[in-house]
Copies of this chain bind each other. A is one copy, B any other.
Amino acid sequence: MIAQLISIGNEITSGQTVDTNSAWLAQRLAEFGVPCVRHQTIADEIEPIRHAIDDAAGRSDLVIITGGLGPTPDDLTRQALADAMGVELEFHEPSLQHIEAYFAQRKRRMHEGNRQQAYLPAGSDALHNERGTAPGIRARLHNADIYCVPGVPSEMRDMFAVHIRPQLEKQSGGSAMRIGILRTIGVSESEIGERLKDLMRRDRNPTVGTSAADLVISIRVVAHGPTRDIAQSSLDADLSEIRVRLGNVIFGENDDTVESAVGKLLIERQLTIATAESCTGGLVAKRLTDLPGSSAYLRSGFITYANESKTDLLGVPASLIAEHGAVSESVAKAMAENCRTRSRTDIALSTTGIAGPTGGTPTKPVGLVYVGIATTDETVVKELRLGDNITRDQVRERTVRILLNMLRLRLLRRADHDRNPS
């Protein structure tokens, strides 16, 4: 079974909006073992949309179309699908009732254009949309199942969960399939491949695959079985085995991020944290506060971009900066320690480095960064050499990810130590 995706809209073909729906859908389909061989993005024009649908349906088993279901004249997905199927649009009374109820409930006036959302290609099914006015559509063309869902990401994801995912589960070879994803950081994809070699054999059930995105390597396990329970227990066995083999490099599962893993640990252990940032300019604190509820752990942060502000705000001795330079192990250490004292927190993080593109020297090149962690026990500082062939943005992003992962590992080790004091 192979899939194709189609996104509709001038805002995407013109480059004003970057299409993120396709990447999200492709990842979900991959979790069911369904590869996506093509994404198409088509402008709001009827003939090109019809052609794209026809061509995709002729060359795959599943086509998911996002966008073009709105109430304005340039929303053409319904008509283009009807044209590709060689049928007319037909009025669908229950859909109109849903649309009318949607507006009535919100005490808003329904526009005339919304009526067109209740027209569907003859022979297709309406898919209920809990979060918006536009019903989705399910149809058959050539040998493919066609799904049309709204382009608004939240509505699209909801429709996928309600209408498409159950279908994929059902179609997965007449048997049950269960999927699990583990997220790791700190080892290479090839090293993980080495450690899971036997599990990653192609003819094995469950199948185990890896994929890399920036510094995070994800491990996908897909288990098939005659029943859901059997598939689930063979999935669970593999996940446990992988957890044992990889240990702490696994930071979470599914949608977890390094910062959400750190946030969870800080909340569990009721620890508070503060940040002292130079080259990252606020990005460490920004990431730690991306999560709702982060006020439970993040108390404060210092951005000491200028040398004088390292001295004024954090009391880093000017003589220390003069002797070692602002980008040095000593300064990273002093920043973390003084930040912790001044913020009265359990933990403090520090960063100082050369993000580039200018400012590098032969001894201190672009990409040289010192990151520090101060706790009640001790302070550790690590030197990173991120290379000068990456952008300013990448230097800053990777610094944050590496530092947060160092903190995560420390928090885990500390918990081990608390349990087994030597």
Contacts and interface: CB of A to CB of B under 8 A. Distances in A.
A193 interface: no
A392 to B, nearest CB: 6
Contacts of A25: 15
B275 A303 contact: yes
Number of copies: 2
Nearest to A272: B306
A16 B305 contact: no
B301 A303 contact: yes
A150 to B, nearest CB: 15
A51 B60 CA distance: 13
Contact of A39 (B41, B45, B275): B41
* Residue among A37, A292, A303 facing the most chain B CB atoms (10 A cut-off): A303
A48 B15 CA distance: 24
A285 interface: yes
Contact of A303 (B22, B303, B357): B303
Given A35-B43, A299-B305, A211 B16 contact: yes
A13 interface: yes
Interface in A366-401: 392-393
A293 interface: yes
Given A299-B305, A312-B300, A313-B342, A13 B37 contact: yes
A38 B288 CA distance: 39
Interface residues of A, number: 72
Q: Is the interface of A mostly helix, strand, loop or mixed?
A: mixed
Contacts of A43: 35-38
Contacts of A19: 18-19, 23, 39
A358 B293 contact: yes
B300 A303 contact: yes
A18 B288 CA distance: 24
A30 interface: yes
A223 to B, nearest CB: 20
A204 to B, nearest CB: 21
Given A37-B42, A38-B40, A285-B303, A290 B393 contact: yes
A216 to B, nearest CB: 10
B343 A292 contact: no
Contacts of A13: 26, 35-39
Interface in A238-295: 274-275, 277, 280-286, 288-290, 292-295
Nearest to A282: B282
Interface of A: 12-20, 22-27, 30, 35-43, 45, 48, 51-52, 55, 59, 211-213, 274-275, 277, 280-286, 288-290, 292-295, 298-306, 308-309, 312-313, 342-344, 356-358, 392-393
B14 A35 contact: yes
Nearest to A24: B15
Given A37-B48, A285-B305, 4 more contacts: A15-B24, A16-B211, A37-B45, A281-B301
Nearest to A45: B37
* Residue among A12, A41, A45 facing the most chain B CB atoms (10 A cut-off): A41
Contacts of A306: 295, 298-300
B30 A14 contact: yes
A251 B409 CA distance: 45
Given A13-B37, A37-B42, A302 B305 contact: no
A398 B91 CA distance: 41
20 contacts: A13-B37, A14-B30, A14-B36, A15-B30, A16-B27, A16-B211, A36-B43, A40-B41, A55-B55, A281-B298, A282-B283, A282-B284, A282-B285, A282-B286, A283-B286, A290-B392, A290-B393, A300-B309, A312-B342, A312-B344
A365 to B, nearest CB: 15
